[in-house]
Structure 1
Amino acid sequence: MRNRILGGLFGVAVGDALGGTTEFMNEAEIRREYGWLEEIIGEGVWNLEAGEITDDTAMTIAVARGIIQNPEDPIEAIGEHFLKWKDTNPKDIGNIIRTVFGLYDGNWTEAARRAGQLLNGQTAGNGTLMRCLPIALAYRDAAVMEEVTRRHSEMTHEDPLATEACLIYNRIARRLLQGEQLTSAILTEITGTRYEQLLNCEPPVTPPDGFVVHTMQWVVHHLLEAETFEEVVQRAANGGGDSDTIGAIAGGLAGIYWGCDGIPSRYADKILLQQNLIELGDALLTLREKGDR
């Protein structure tokens, strides 16, 4: 279980750090600049240091820390860690989340509602999907896991499409943590949903952008098509668009499935915050083993 939990956290960070190089580029631009990007080299639009993470991993860490701080009712603690991260003046904050931060006045749900009005209802971004994995890692009880997943998504994104994607994603993660095969877990959880057509193995016709439905489509496609962790995150990075976020989301599930041992050391050792991830993973494991939480 420790191998799977650490694999999930490192998978998010590796997908993020690798994809951060190609974010906002298209496939043709990536081919001209890098051929096929295989290594974590940083740079890109955010001028990243090699192994530096973006908002995807930073907010995932904030969610993990909030859960560890108050596992019985983590929402306010998660919010505290979001605001601490915001105060570090990060390079990258998504537009929806930035808007919610600007409107927050002690009530996350109200801030998300007002952001929805200000943004004309355009709040179905992937900013909650990118950060929700620690909830599945921490809570063994399915009902509790789903309740926290839902409430966590609604903190910043009022659109039900964001919540739906987080729930499907964390249900897949839960199955992988229990040792289920990757294809089987995905098949079970997307059958009967808007993502069921991905089972035909055809690439999505949608762009790999920040709309949560498009993001989830590409995540599922990469996971179903790849044969190794390495291939999952490379596919995401070389697809461009919102490549860091798609890489982080796909990398999280791939990391659980293949385990931390299945992540190439040249990737894991490159992550600048690797010690933080190890400490958080061990704390989440302790929570998970405490009882029926």
Structure 2
Amino acid sequence: MSNIWKDGMLGLIVGDALGVPVEFMSRTELMKNPVTGMREYGTHHQPRGTWSDDSSMALAELDSIRTVGTIDYTDMMERFSRWCMHGEYTPFGEVFDIGTATSRALMNYAKGIAPLESGGKTEWDNGNGSLMRILPVCLYLFERQKKVCTSENESIYMIHAVSALTHAHVRSQIACGIYYFLVKAILEEEGSLENRLQKGMDRAYQYYRQDLSNHRELENYKRLADLSEFKENPKEGIKSSGYVVDTLEAAVWCLLHSHSYKETVLMAVNLGEDTDTIGAVAGGLAGLYYKEEGIPQEWIQVLQRREWIEEVLQGI
């Protein structure tokens, strides 16, 4: 029987590691020399299979959930702080990549600001730093709803709160909420990946449209409302920056244009720019759909600290 935690998290970490060596490279550069497998060195001069802050923060969240048994915002911030300050949850005991908004939020927390008040709330605080790590929370809430009769409002409140630890603007929170609905649809529905993703988007729109205050922010995601139409966008119409809307669009576009895990993440990282995060965001969803056996084993085998990752995943 499939283990959704291993499917999703390995999908995320492998996608992240594929993108690390080419982060910040342009699409034009990668068209000339596309990524076809795990590379070494490159942008951050790291060995093959090295993962970045995307995986570190997701693993910190996962470890918090498995240790505490629930969503504990303070515990998560403590683990994020230990990652940032002491290199915990990293491949080699040091942080080589951290987003500006995340760094600022952790500094706020270190000054004594409450966890849910630490993240930036302005329109300029809409990088992809909470979307990249939200998968473990989505999986926890998916399983929790099966065991305990909880409302969607309660789940979305927690999704938004975990985003707010570093990214508290509603646009980033909605991106994480949409991702949650996509995760649920992949796991619950039958049929093609495109069909499942569309059902997830429909439910996300249905949920957020209930509150009139969300309507303006939902406009930022209007291209994703109809995925058959969105799919027709050429690659030139897909941005791969660190802006949260661009990242979610790029990840979904790659999923719609691929027929395997491998094809999805290679397409994602070859878009260029924020390659590790787009690889991680697309890879998490692709892992859930194609499952662990769909991820190239040679890529999993070269992940740094692979045994430790698998130990953490077995404990959830």
Q: Would you say same fold, with TM above 0.5?
A: yes
**Paired residues of 1:18 and 1:40 also in contact (CA < 8 A):** yes
- Say if 2:116 is the partner of 1:109: yes
8 Å contact from structure 2 (residues 185, 199) kept in 1: no
CA 1:73–1:122 in 2, change beyond 3 Å: closer, same or farther?
A: same
> Matched residue pairs, number?
277
Structure 2 partner of 1:189: 200
Structure 1 residues 159 and 199 mapped into 2: Cα distance closer, same or farther (>3 Å)? farther
Contact 1:3-1:261 within 8 A present in 2 as well:
no
Q: Which amino acid aligns with 1:184?
A: N
CA separation of 1:183 and 1:198: change in aligned 2, threshold 3 A: closer
1:34-49 matched pairs, under 5 angstroms: 35-49=33-47
The alpha-carbon deviation at position 5 of structure 1 amounts to 2.2
Q: Is 1:66–1:79's contact at 8 Å kept on the other side of the alignment?
A: no
Kindly provide the amino acid, as one letter, of the partner of residue 263 in structure 1: I
String of CA shifts for 1:151-170, please: whole Å, max 9, x gaps: 10011111111111111112
Equivalent pair of 2:40/2:49 in contact (CA under 8 Å): yes
**Does 1:221 pair with 2:223?**
no
Counterparts of 1:73 and 1:37, CA distance in 2: 37
DSSP 3-state at the match of 1:56: helix
Instruction: Pick the aligned partner of 2:228 from 183, 196, 199.
Output: 199
Q: Is contact 1:135–1:145 with CA below 8 Å preserved after alignment?
A: no
1:130-167 deviations in Å (ceiling 9; x for gaps): 00101122232163543321110011111111111111
C-alpha distance 73-19 of structure 1, shift in aligned 2 (>3 A): closer
- Counterpart of 1:5 in structure 2 is 5
Quick check: 1:246 aligned with 2:248? no
Query: Which SS does the other structure have where 1:5 is aligned?
Result: helix
Distance 1:229 1:206 in 2: 20
Deviation at 1:49, TM superposition (A): 1.0
Change (3 A) 1:206 1:258: closer
Partner of 2:243: 211
**For each residue in 1:168-221, what CA deviation from the matched residue of structure 2 results, as whole angstroms up to 9, or x when unmatched?**
112211222235342122101224452225432124624200110011100110
Contact kept? 1:2, 1:282, Cα under 8 Å: no
Correspondent of 1:274 among 306, 309, 313: 306
- Unpaired segments ≥5 residues, structure 2: 88-93, 206-220
| Runs of 5+ consecutive residues of structure 1 not aligned to the other structure | 285-293
Q: Which amino acid aligns with 1:103?
A: N
Displacement after TM superposition at 1:3 (Å): 3.5
The sequence identity of aligned pairs, in percent, is: 29
Q: 1:43 to 1:179 in 2, by over 3 A?
A: farther
CA RMSD of aligned residues (A): 1.9
Tell me which residue corresponds to 2:125: 123
Q: Deviations over 1:34-53 (max 9, x none)?
A: x2211111322211210010
Compared CA separation, residues 67 and 106, structure 1 to 2 (3 A): farther
Secondary structure at the aligned position of 1:239 is classed as coil
Structure 2 residue matching 1:208: 3-state secondary structure: coil
Distance 1:275 1:145 in 2: 31
Which structure has more relative contact order (CA 8 Å, sep 6+)? It is 1
1:228-276: CA deviation from partner (whole Å, max 9, x where unpaired): 0000000011110101000000000000111101111111111113223
C-alpha separation in 1, matches of 2:306 and 2:20: 17
The one-letter amino acid paired with 2:129 is G
Matched with 1:94 is 99
Contact 2:49–2:303 (Cα < 8 Å) also in 1? yes
* Partner secondary structure for residue 62 of structure 1: helix
Q: Structure 1 segments of 4 or more deviating over 6 A?
A: none
TM-score (normalised: structure 2): 0.82
Match of 1:207, SS state, is coil
Q: For 1:212 and 1:197, how far apart are their aligned partners in 2?
A: 19
Give the counterpart letter for 2:40 in structure 1.
G
CA contact (8 A) 1:149 1:166 kept: yes
Aligned to 1:259: 291
Instruction: Determine the C-alpha separation between the residues in 2 that align with 1:203 and 1:96.
Output: 31
Partner of 1:288: none
